[in-house]
Structures are given as structure tokens and as C-alpha cells.
Structure 1
Amino acid sequence: MNLQLKRLKELSEVAGVSGNEHRIKNLLKDRLLPVSEEIFYDKLGSVIFKSKNNSDELKIMLAAHMDEVGFMVKTITAEGFLRFTCLGGWWEQVMLGQRVIVHAKTKDITGVIGCKAPHILTPEERKKIVEKKDMYIDIGVESQKEAEALGIYPGTFITPSVQFEVMADENYLLGKAWDDRIGCAIMADVVEALSEKEHPNTIYATATVQEEVGLRGALTSANKISPDVAIIIDTCVAGGVPGVTKEQASAEIGKGVAITIYDASMIPNTKLRDLVLDIAKAEKIDHQISFSEGGGTDAGRIHMQDIGVPSIVLSIPTRYIHSHQGVIHKHDYETAIQLILAVIGKLDNICYNTIVQY
């Protein structure tokens, strides 16, 4: 496995649900400290890597969130089953029978999400989706006391358990947590590349916490930085699969980085959007348009920091977002890196003044 795939595998497989992102943070610190001028944090746990080139013209914030959707223990039954709450948006139909990792104090413990077997359901019950409240996690113990002896208690974090795989076409990558570990990977690649390039800006590469539960680290880290411009790197729902129309999801995997024209949390700065589109066309970087009527990104908080931050979202189309398994394409990942580097190279004070003039 080459270095690129090894790094993607590490970032995909590492555990880090909302509020428990320290393992991803450590991976990024190991990689980016050598190419960063300074590292600092907000008080929620987001980590910011500052890198400066030949001037102080603009403060550009790159943002990707570290957290993935997961679960937390609410209660433990007398028989040792774990009742849980969801961290982030989950659809019941993708949850049952899936393996999870329970992060007990003593060690990580494998569990499985269960419910009543279909064999004993009534005909009416079989027609309904099993609700989250009726699910539990089985860790293979016989009592609450045994579970507690392992260091499991209300508040214990639970992560989906999935192995990274290269699929039949080696450009297709299967794994968990692409939302938004692929954004973290892109941001890290950009920071490393910028350490060897001339550009007119100061970069604040920010790995945020708790995006999936309300864009929380985005707000606190933006307050710490007060950026002039923000480029948010995230994922979007991939179209091009059975049952999904272009009107529902226009971006498809393998066709290039997706430039977001709107989502439920933000309409991007129009002039910045057009600049990014123009650069993509001029540099012949494969790209496509994405939109989301039902979701948002860290940009939803960052663009409202102080008196406002011109912001743009670049997304990687991802199949099966917010489930245990996701599928992305290497070409979209690589074109995202190319486009961000091109934008940073051209975005100077002259461009910025054009963007913020109304």
C-alpha cells in the first residue's frame, strides 16, 4: 500500500465521534507540526495549524471537521445491553446488525447493534422501520455489573467499526467516516504542498470538532482566527446511483471536486464562488456543482463570524454518507487539492478587495 492510501486508511479507520476527536487530532499533529509555524487550539478542542509564506496579506482559513457520526451510551440494562443516543444524523435503516467499537476505560470493545428478531414480530411490526429507541448494543456480557467492570458507563463513546478497502476499480475507496476525514486528508496534503510553494497568504488549517452535532468547533475556531476568507472542505451526497435524480444530487463520484452553490446553512459569497469557478476552468481542473437543501457544513457558522467571512465549500461526492460504509473516488480527492492550491496561489489583496466590495 502506497503512502497516500496508508494515510487515507489511517484517517478513515481511526475512531473519533463528536466530542471524542483526540485520536484524529494526534494523527494530524504528527503529520503537520513539522510544516507549521505555530499550532494552537480553541477551547472546544479544534486544532489550528498556522503556516505563513512571504507576506501577511490575507488570513485564509481552511476548515475540515474531525468528528464522525456515532453513538454514546445512555444507560445499561440489568442484562448488560447498552442503550444509546445518536451523535449526528442517523437513519434507522442503516444501523441494525452493524458492528461498533465501545470505548471503555479499560480497552476498546466490539459490539453489535441489535433489536428483536423479525421471526417474533407481528405482521404489522414487520412493516415498520425499527426505531432507534428500540435498538441496543450487545457487547457479549451477562450483566450491568460486568459491563461497568470493563469501564463502560453513561457517556461512553461508541464508534462504527469498519475496515478501509480498495474496491474493484482501485480509484474507488470504501471506508467509514469519509465525512469528513477525506476533508482532513485534503487539508493536510494542501498544507504540506504549501510548505514548498510561494503564495501571498497566511494559512490557518483548522481541524474542527463537533460539526455533526451543530457546527460547534467551526464557530469557536473562527472566533480564534478571525479569518479574511474561508475554504471549507467537506463531503456531499453523491448522485449517479439508482433512484437519485440530478435534481436531488447533481455531483457524482469520479467527476471532480464539487463546488457548492448553496446549502441549508449558507449561500456562498457570489464573487468568491465565481472566482473559484473561473480558476477551476482556467487551470482545467475537473469540477462539478453541488447543492444541499437538507444539510449544512462548518461554513454555516464560519461565514457569520464577526462582520462576516467570504466563504466557499468544496466537497467530495460520497456515497452512503452517515452510515457505516462510504464510497469515494480518488480523482475527486486529487482535484480538490489542485483547486485549493490554485485558489490560494491567486487569492491576494487585490482579489480580496474585489470580493468584499458591494
Structure 2
Amino acid sequence: MLLKELTEAFGVSGNEKEVRDLILNEIKDFVTDIKVDKIGNIIAYKKGKIDSPKLMITAHMDEVGLMITGIDNSGLLKFTTVGGIDKRILVSKTVRIGKNKINGVIGSKPIHLQDKDEWSKALDIKNLYIDIGVNTKEEAEKLVSIGDYVMFNSEYIEFGNNLIKAKALDNRVGCSVLIDLLKEETDLSFYGVFTVMEEVGLVGAGPAAYSVEPDISIILEGTLCADTPGTEDHMIPTKLGHGPAISLMDRTTLFDVNLRQKIVSIAKENNIPYQFRKTTFGGNDSGKIHLAKKGSVTSTISVPCRYIHSPVSVMSKKDYYNTHKLLLAIINKIEEGDFNEF
């Protein structure tokens, strides 16, 4: 599955080249035009027989990670986070650093040596370090540099009832769905856009939308899922295996009601399971896309992922395939002229 290559690639925000190169290689024979803009967004155009309304489908390439900020005399590395990471998940994780993917382990003072008040709270990042197995600053400097990006080291694994464990499912799952869509034969012309630096402020989306000027934008995401013990049902944003999640609102966007209703009716008509993303936490590229130039009506369709923004996110292959089916059904409806009001 292409998703394995995408999730195991190095693509922390601002350092998406490895992911971008993978995507370019996958789509180059299936689109009419490709350009990479000055900040690294991929803007691909797939020409069909029908050009209106102008549709843009997007997915961000970047993942959360770390960056090296210091090297101490013993060769241990200090770091900061890139994107939103719960510091409680950091201790003991394995990582890869820089272009040479140097192996490292995130360490801390052993619990045996911690004060009692430290046992009950997450250690601050200033008390953590990355151990790359050297003894001096000079040895470390031969392998890594301040400013090097750091990604979690996590293998793609399929397990259980059609589930996948991997890092960076937010949002390589969206990238993978969009790649699959660009490979389909459709009569509708549309733009497939892969954006940079979403995790650090929706950086790439604004310039991409400004360039394309879409009428309709669909943002593909891997979104939070919390269908776990102890969570009240009304607090569960999405559930694994219940189909693609259609967003109502988030911190950056009140999604277009008419477009959402259209998408829901298409899902029902085609017997595609769906759910609503019930939480308003977080935001995505829609926050910048719907504001660019004259604006664009937007909707976000997401694949639910447990343990998001960690090295071990989990998703359902069933949700993946139903997301793809829903997007194809939407394109078919647009081809039939059912979206002309947009």
C-alpha cells in the first residue's frame, strides 16, 4: 500500500521534500500539469471535459516532529517541538535525525532518581534529551547539527480488524486518498493540491488557494478519534470504522452548510457510511483557503485516526476506502451538473 511509503517518509513541517518527491513520482503520469510553488506546495491540474465549478481538493504533506536546538558536552541533544505534540508521549521514543536519519532515543532522568512530585506529571521538554550513542559534543557534531529536523521512528503495520498503525497518518492518509483520486479517470477537471506546513499555522494553504482561485474546496485530513473507554459518547469526535468524518466547524472555519448537506445526501444515496466530526478543536487548511481572494466554499472530509500526533496513530482501512468512494461519488455528481449553484 502506498500509505506505507508515505507514512514512513521524513516530512516534518518545513522539511517536506521526501514526501513531495514521492507524491510527484506517483502522480506525474496521471495529471495534465504540475508545478511546485516557491514554498513547496504541489499544485497539480487534471484536465477533463468539464471545467466548472472549479474544484480544488487538498491534503497537507507535513507531520509533527522535533528540531535540534542544542548539543551538550556529553553529546546529548536538546530539542523543541514542531507542531502540536503532547509532551507525555515523548519519553523513550525512538527517532531519526537529519538528512542521514541518525538513530536516537528520547531520554530523561530515570524514575528512580526523580522527586515524588515529578512522578505525577509529564516531564517538561527542557528535562528531556536525545541520545544518539556518542560521548562528546565533538562526536555528536559530526553526525547532527543544530536546526536538524527530527521525525519519530515508527514502522507501518497492518493489524487486527483491517487496522493500520503508523506515524504521520495526519495527514499522509489524506495525501494517499488524493493520489488515488488523481489516478482515476474522470470527466471533471480539478486541482489536486498538496500543501506544506499545515501543522505550524496553515502556512501553505493560503498561497495555494490564491493561485488556484477555487469555487469549491474539499480538504482531506486524518482527524482525531477518541472512541476509547472512559470517554462519554457526546465527547467522542469520531469513531473508527464508522466512515469518513464530515466537519461541522472548527477553530478556523464554519463549513458551508449547503455543501455539507450535498455531501451527506450523496453519501446516503450511494450507501456510503459517514459520520460528523463533532468536536470544534483544532483547525486545518480550510482556515486559509476559504479566505483567499474572493473566497471559496469549503468542506473537510477526514479519515478518523486514534492517538493522533503521536508515533503510533491508528486508522481503519474501511474508513480509507469509504472516503475514496465518497469523493468519487461527489465528483460524479458535479459532472452531472448538481453543484452549479456553487
TM-score bucket (shorter structure)? over 0.9
Give the Å deviation of 1:56: 2.1
Give the Å deviation of 1:292: 2.9
The one-character-per-residue Cα deviations of 1:133-187 (angstroms, maximum 9, x if unpaired) are 211111111112111112x211101000000111122x11111110000000000
Matched residue, 1:228: 215
The one-character-per-residue Cα deviations of 1:314-341 (angstroms, maximum 9, x if unpaired) are 0111000011101000111001111111
Give the Å deviation of 1:197: 2.8
Matched residue, 1:28: 23
TM-score, normalization by structure 1: 0.92
1:38-49 equivalence runs, <5 A: 38-49=33-44
2:14/2:197 contact within 8 Å kept: yes
The one-character-per-residue Cα deviations of 1:38-84 (angstroms, maximum 9, x if unpaired) are 00122210111110100322221111011010001111111111111
**Aligned mates of 2:21, 2:212 — CA distance in 1:** 21
One-letter code aligned to 1:257: P
**Aligned mates of 1:243, 1:282 — CA distance in 2:** 35
1:44-193 equivalence runs, <5 A: 44-104=39-99, 107-150=100-143, 152-169=144-161, 171-193=162-184
**Aligned mates of 2:279, 2:221 — CA distance in 1:** 12
Give the Å deviation of 1:350: 5.3
Gaps of 5+ in 1: none
**Aligned mates of 2:335, 2:256 — CA distance in 1:** 16
Give the Å deviation of 1:348: 5.5
When the two chains are superposed, the root-mean-square deviation of aligned CA atoms in Å is 1.4
Give the Å deviation of 1:121: 0.9
**Aligned mates of 1:110, 1:166 — CA distance in 2:** 24
Give the Å deviation of 1:300: 1.0
Equivalent of 1:264 in 247, 251, 255: 251
TM-score, normalization by structure 2: 0.97
2:333/2:339 contact within 8 Å kept: no
Matched residue, 2:3: 8
**Aligned mates of 1:292, 1:16 — CA distance in 2:** 27
Matched residue, 1:204: 191
Secondary structure of 1:354's aligned partner: coil
**Aligned mates of 1:240, 1:210 — CA distance in 2:** 28
2:50/2:187 contact within 8 Å kept: no
2:237/2:279 contact within 8 Å kept: no
Matched residue, 1:285: 272
The one-character-per-residue Cα deviations of 1:217-276 (angstroms, maximum 9, x if unpaired) are 111111121111100000221132112222222421111111111111111111111111
**Aligned mates of 2:187, 2:48 — CA distance in 1:** 6
**Aligned mates of 2:126, 2:210 — CA distance in 1:** 37
The one-character-per-residue Cα deviations of 1:276-316 (angstroms, maximum 9, x if unpaired) are 11111111111111133220111111111112110000011
2:8/2:154 contact within 8 Å kept: yes
Secondary structure of 2:234's aligned partner: coil
One-letter code aligned to 1:159: M
**Aligned mates of 2:207, 2:266 — CA distance in 1:** 30
Q: Does 1:316 align with 2:292?
A: no
Gaps of 5+ in 2: none
One-letter code aligned to 1:264: R
**Aligned mates of 2:120, 2:318 — CA distance in 1:** 41
Q: How many percent identity over aligned positions?
A: 35
**Aligned mates of 1:125, 1:236 — CA distance in 2:** 32
**Aligned mates of 1:349, 1:286 — CA distance in 2:** 22
- CA 1:166–1:350 in 2, change beyond 3 Å: closer, same or farther? closer
2:238/2:277 contact within 8 Å kept: yes
Equivalent of 2:282 in 295, 308, 322: 295
**Aligned mates of 1:21, 1:125 — CA distance in 2:** 36
1:263/1:291 contact within 8 Å kept: no
One-letter code aligned to 1:251: T
The range that moved more, 8-17 or 238-247, is 238-247
